[in-house]
Structure 1
């Protein structure tokens, strides 16, 4: 007879095996208040069950279990620390009661088991999973600034040993079923979903004495000992390794390593208690709040279509044309072909177009070598790309994306030559990174069908697309561009037209502030180090070399010709430095033989000595704290200006755009979210300090004071 308590469906068969099917209210199973009540009910029910011979735990959802209730965690406050400690401890106590039952317990994993879902499975004696691409196994809590706090750290270390467990926990790796079995997180796989429950029950019947875990048996000794030189060496090496990755800005990896040390020093239950304390500490940290708010809650809002027009039906692209087979065009072609879209890659010569197509061939060859692709699949994907020098081959495309050089005249020329070849209702997109879409749309006969579709390099790795609406861009065109971005697996943010839009405009301030520090006399190596220490992927001078000083100079030249230079943001010092280094010294950046740095063959990059002669001064009077804040706050202020001016349509798009398109420090949760946990008044005060010392560009935009007066934060 079946029982149902808060979505926990309890069935006992004639063999004495209880099948517990989790099918809680809502789209997924989650560790919320209902779960905490249900898991306690389950522990009581199983302990009282007469004739119990085993338990199988499975899910009634397509996802096995989604993990902790992230929204609930996001609302936790410091004053709630003691309460949260008790809540988590009580829930974990129920898992321990179930784990200690003297009968075998199997988890039948029919969908993704990530975080808390896997932690439930780890409390079982056996785990069998459906061998499907719909199943993912892992402990990804570190990506949200957390750790697996429902027994995940302690159980995985006891089960797998430190050497295998630590990388899985510290990197938050999501494993396919086969990889999960290799790792030891899963014991067996079935190829057919219908075989899953029978396989779990068969194991239970065949292993009646498998009930107690090793750590609950008398005489248990953990495989890893703190007195083992191999263990101490592993922990000693891991600390500096992960500090180098996080630069000390993300507390979760350090806390996980500390807990790992404790887990091999104390008994199992004491380690679980330390694990709870560590989780609560991280839950209440600003970094965790930032990551949960931006990379989970706001990311879900964006990917679920919050910025897409709601009253327009979903569309898809079946044939796309790409103008320009250079670095950007070839990357866009690869993304389209991988998504199953027929792609026409057009350049001025067939040779250039074929070279762009060869880029996809090279990427597919790498996937083939890794075993993630077959020869047949590679051939099918590559066949989707037609390389051509003939505009006529673009006829009938649903979408054409121009990815030619950042020249207004060239872009207008290709628009006028190819727009008429679009299918009826087709959309023309520009991959420009700086030129206003409304200006480019002046060359279009259908400006309502014209939109900015700004990709980031390298396209095959960068997950963001910045969609820019011109003054005449229609809602239908926006919907089509948004759907296209999702179709090729990208996250789209939607912004309004502006010189540099959002990402390029804010990114330009990072380059500019780095150049200002250089002109003021700071050591260029110090400047780049300050950028990295604040959490940017690379320093401002290094990245300026990568994106090209020569390109920056040419863009500024184009903007001056159009009369729009400096109309939106002040990045004048970066332009002045770029013009001086390129025109006087022929130093256009890395791909032009060198810029701020020299790049000797086979060796590490070196600062170009001429920089010291041109700019280096002593006793500058700028300390590390100010240098770091200047590089960070300059970008935050510009992001807030974009929000205030309506370039940004929403706070989530500012946060996700800055994280995924600009490389905002992960710990901030994005440039606008950073202000929330820094404190609005504190932010205004620090901006005033920086403005008084270094210039009005650091003054906090009025929108911050408005939020403060209203008692609100940026959401």
Structure 2
């Protein structure tokens, strides 16, 4: 069932179980968007219409991750679509509430990672079976973005686990948990060793509930007499707990994430005092109070800057848009074949030798790989002089093309090179003075810092958790970069705190981007923002590396002061000048 263009498909089998498969077409991972919302709503409509035939629901995923996991490639999802997901908070919250109150047993076969909204979907099911694999993580990590859950994740975890566990172990610290940790924390019920076993165990749970004759298919907190774990609201013990949690927050070092942690505590306390339906409204209210602050400005930058950069904000003015008549693509590499295909899609005739008539040469004979990018040569034909050789850097798995121009390159040539980059279906980023790849510099900085942390004895898994907690995406999450590959991957023996690792990884990337802007490599802050997010995987919640500096608590001056402190402790890689 379901339109094949939908992100959700489902089928009712002879045993009366509806298997719901999350499978956003053309994407490597599922995420909240209009396709998912419409498809899931249609699925619930049909389940309700055929209620008498349905014994239970099993929810699973066709992707490597379960829902909205780390496998999302930022480059394949328009940034405005990512930012627009926040417009689905209330509709998705209500949809998940509808799922858990159908009166039908629902089991989630979480066959991969589920972070944020993905885990909120799992928590709305009555039972969760998780895949026991080393690269699978679950968590409500919104606090790491300066936000908090908004679709019911805080309500459900508070009522399942109690205020103290939520504030100190799960939501407050933005915990990203492996399989065994998730079971111990109580957010996953059981584990399976394969994807197929996950689904089989979820089906078995549905059958067992029916065989027991249990007709009360509701969440336990919706049943009369249910008590939230921990002290009862209104008692002296409850007030003592709240005061202790508040004191613990007061004792923490000041952080940009402190408002989010305090919002989690305030919301959890309110949630424990009210009925479930009121609790969902409380959570959403606190979410939007956070979202309407600096995070909205940062995400707005992530919506506005892509269009400005894609339109060629740094393209020299006064030069008409230009279309090449014929393009010479050189090389027998996969990169050359990809370039020829891009040219064909743009409607540009392609020749494979410079002996033929042409006005652009794309030289991919080597297709030099640098960290985060592939470098090719670009030369524009000129009737009277030999133009300078330029370089294009194609970011891996992202629609970003960096244009590296030597000093003194005529504006007319730069403008034409912009038009070539845009025609090749890329977001153009201008790098002046042959400084190399901006993306490469940022990714290189993160890669080197990862290596430094590993060298200090931080376990590789902790480094990856720090990247995930900060909000980095590919390629920063890659483990295949040569600098990191040379480091021994032992268990590690380090006193480095996870929060320190998060800060170091984020700051070193922002410093690298700021240096690039300062030396003229990145011409505009908009380019630095989008280059860092789309090409280097810098956390999208920041709005980009330049916006991260501008929005740093205390402003750019405070950022520079903190960078100097880190430089004194860890080395000049943290120094902005």
Deviations 1:132-160 (A, max 9, x none): 11321111111111111111001011111
Report the counterpart of residue 485 of structure 1 in structure 2.
483
Alpha-carbon offset, residue 219 of structure 1: 3.5
Report the counterpart of residue 133 of structure 1 in structure 2.
134
| 3-state SS in 1 of match to 2:128 | strand
Alpha-carbon offset, residue 21 of structure 1: 0.4
* Structure 1 segments unaligned to the other structure (5+ residues): 77-82, 299-308, 317-437, 439-450, 465-481, 491-535, 538-542, 544-631, 660-665, 688-715
1:241 is the counterpart of 2:226: no
Counterpart CA distance in 1 for 2:3 and 2:299 is: 39
* Structure 2 segments unaligned to the other structure (5+ residues): 307-362, 372-434, 436-443, 465-479, 489-498, 534-539, 559-577
Counterpart CA distance in 1 for 2:23 and 2:175 is: 26
Report the counterpart of residue 43 of structure 2 in structure 1.
42
Matches within 5 A, 1:87-486: 87-166=88-167, 167-208=169-210, 209=214, 211-224=217-230, 225-245=232-252, 247=254, 249-250=256-257, 251-287=259-295, 289-290=297-298, 312=367, 459-460=455-456, 461=458, 483-485=481-483
Between 220-229 and 270-279, report the one with greater CA deviation.
220-229
Alpha-carbon offset, residue 221 of structure 1: 3.6
Report the counterpart of residue 364 of structure 1 in structure 2.
none
Deviations 1:273-302 (A, max 9, x none): 1211222222232146548979xx99xxxx
Runs of 4+ in structure 1 deviating by more than 4 angstroms, as ranges, are: 1-5, 67-70, 72-76, 287-294, 313-316, 451-458, 461-464, 636-642, 647-659, 666-671, 674-679
Counterpart CA distance in 1 for 2:285 and 2:139 is: 22
| 3-state SS in 1 of match to 2:149 | coil
674 and 203 in structure 1: CA distance in 2 versus 1, 3 angstrom threshold = closer
Counterpart CA distance in 2 for 1:282 and 1:3 is: 37
Counterpart CA distance in 1 for 2:66 and 2:227 is: 32
Alpha-carbon offset, residue 220 of structure 1: 3.3
| 3-state SS in 2 of match to 1:175 | coil
151 and 667 in structure 1: CA distance in 2 versus 1, 3 angstrom threshold = closer
Between 125-134 and 205-214, report the one with greater CA deviation.
205-214
Counterpart CA distance in 2 for 1:488 and 1:172 is: 30
Counterpart CA distance in 2 for 1:70 and 1:145 is: 22
**Is this contact kept in 2: 1:73–1:283, CA < 8 A?**
no
Report the counterpart of residue 62 of structure 2 in structure 1.
60
Deviations 1:82-136 (A, max 9, x none): x967x42222212111101222110001110111111111111100111111321
**Is this contact kept in 2: 1:30–1:66, CA < 8 A?**
yes
673 and 489 in structure 1: CA distance in 2 versus 1, 3 angstrom threshold = farther
**Is this contact kept in 1: 2:146–2:256, CA < 8 A?**
no
Give the alignment's Cα RMSD to 1 decimal: 4.8
Counterpart CA distance in 2 for 1:228 and 1:655 is: 50
191 and 283 in structure 1: CA distance in 2 versus 1, 3 angstrom threshold = same
Between 62-71 and 120-129, report the one with greater CA deviation.
62-71
Counterpart CA distance in 2 for 1:144 and 1:120 is: 19
Q: For CA contacts below 8 A with separation 6 or more, give which structure has more relative contact order.
A: 2
Deviations 1:664-713 (A, max 9, x none): xx99778731465589xx989x99xxxxxxxxxxxxxxxxxxxxxxxxxx
**Is this contact kept in 1: 2:2–2:8, CA < 8 A?**
no
Alpha-carbon offset, residue 644 of structure 1: 3.5
Deviations 1:152-189 (A, max 9, x none): 00101111122222221011111111111111111111
133 and 457 in structure 1: CA distance in 2 versus 1, 3 angstrom threshold = closer
204 and 486 in structure 1: CA distance in 2 versus 1, 3 angstrom threshold = same
Tell me the TM-score normalised to structure 1 length. 0.45
Deviations 1:642-669 (A, max 9, x none): 513236688699789999xxxxxx9977
| 3-state SS in 1 of match to 2:134 | coil
**Is this contact kept in 2: 1:70–1:292, CA < 8 A?**
no
277 and 12 in structure 1: CA distance in 2 versus 1, 3 angstrom threshold = same
| 3-state SS in 2 of match to 1:312 | strand
Counterpart CA distance in 1 for 2:549 and 2:178 is: 38
**Is this contact kept in 2: 1:9–1:23, CA < 8 A?**
yes
**Is this contact kept in 2: 1:130–1:193, CA < 8 A?**
yes
Report the counterpart of residue 643 of structure 1 in structure 2.
517
Report the counterpart of residue 398 of structure 1 in structure 2.
none
Counterpart CA distance in 1 for 2:180 and 2:548 is: 39
Report the counterpart of residue 21 of structure 2 in structure 1.
21
241 and 221 in structure 1: CA distance in 2 versus 1, 3 angstrom threshold = closer
Alpha-carbon offset, residue 7 of structure 1: 2.3
Corresponding pairs, count:
372
Larger radius of gyration: 1
As a proportion of its length, which structure holds more helix? Answer: 1
**Is this contact kept in 2: 1:3–1:10, CA < 8 A?**
no
**Is this contact kept in 1: 2:158–2:228, CA < 8 A?**
no
Counterpart CA distance in 1 for 2:511 and 2:118 is: 40
Counterpart CA distance in 1 for 2:24 and 2:112 is: 15
Alpha-carbon offset, residue 244 of structure 1: 3.8
288 and 141 in structure 1: CA distance in 2 versus 1, 3 angstrom threshold = farther
Tell me the TM-score normalised to structure 2 length. 0.54
